[in-house]
Structure 1
Amino acid sequence: MKLNHLNLTVTNVETAREFLETYFGMTCEGTRGNGFAAMFDEDGFVLTLMKGKSVEYPQTFHIGFPQESKEKVDEIYQRLKEDGFEMDPPIEAHGYTFYVQAPGGFTVEVLA
């Protein structure tokens, strides 16, 4: 069985969509105003974004974007840092990884 989609409630669909497009190569295939966006990755996975008044995910909740190398993790980290995102640098944990708070109220893990 294959998981094919996940829905995230976010405080701002447009900024969350732009973040996912800019840093993780997702593409938006459809929207409904400012309240909904359907994002796709290159494997056909669908991540839908729906606007909510408030977003309160559990502290450990996150979505992950695995990378092919530590160098790619470092590249994404540097781009985010240069664009003003605050996060701890990558560390060796269960892989070479870091976490960033995404616009819209959810956390993203980048790892190799």
Structure 2
Amino acid sequence: MKLNHLNLTVTDVTAAREFLEKYFDLTCQGTRGNGFAALFDDDGFVLTLMSGSPIQYPQTFHIGFVQESEEHVNTLNQRLKQDGFDVEPPMRAHGWTFYVEAPGGFTVEVLA
């Protein structure tokens, strides 16, 4: 069995969609105004975004994007930092990892 779909409720669908497209190479294949977007990765995973407020995910809730190397993690960390995101440097935990608060009200982990 393979998980192939996840829905996130976000405060700003457009900003969340643009963030995920820019930094994580997801492709939007459908929207309904500013309230819904369907994003796909190159492996068939579908991430849908739906508008809602207020957002109250548990403190430890996050989604993750595994990178092919620690260098890719470092590069993405620097891109996000240069673009104004508040990110700490990667650290060794269960992998080479860091977290970023995404537009729309959810947390993303980047790791290798």
Q: Same fold (TM over 0.5)?
A: yes
2:17 matches 1:28: no
1:94 positional shift? 0.3
Q: 2:109 is aligned with what amino acid?
A: E
Q: Which residue is equivalent to 1:45?
A: 45
Shift of 1:28: 0.2
2-structure distance, mates of 1:41, 1:29: 10
Q: Secondary structure of 2:75's match?
A: helix
What is the TM-score of this pair, normalised by structure 2? 0.99
Whole-angstrom distance in 2 between the partners of 1:89 and 1:56: 26
Within the alignment, does 1:7 sit opposite 2:7 as a pair? yes
Superposed, 1:1-112 pairs within 5 Å as: 1-112=1-112
Task: Identify unmatched segments of 5+ residues in structure 1.
Answer: none
**2: CA distance between counterparts of 1:3 and 1:84?**
32
CA RMSD of superposed structures (Å): 0.5
Superposed structure 1 runs of 4+ greater than 4 Å apart:
none
Looking at structure 2, the residues matched to 2 and 66 of structure 1 have their Cα atoms a distance apart, in angstroms, of: 16
Whole-Å separation in 1 of the counterparts to 2:31 and 2:23: 19
Q: TM-score, normalised by structure 1?
A: 0.99
Tell me, in whole angstroms, the C-alpha distance in 2 between the residues paired with 1:68 and 1:85. Answer: 22
Give the deviation of 1:9 after TM superposition: 0.1
Give aligned pairs, total: 112
Identity %: 74
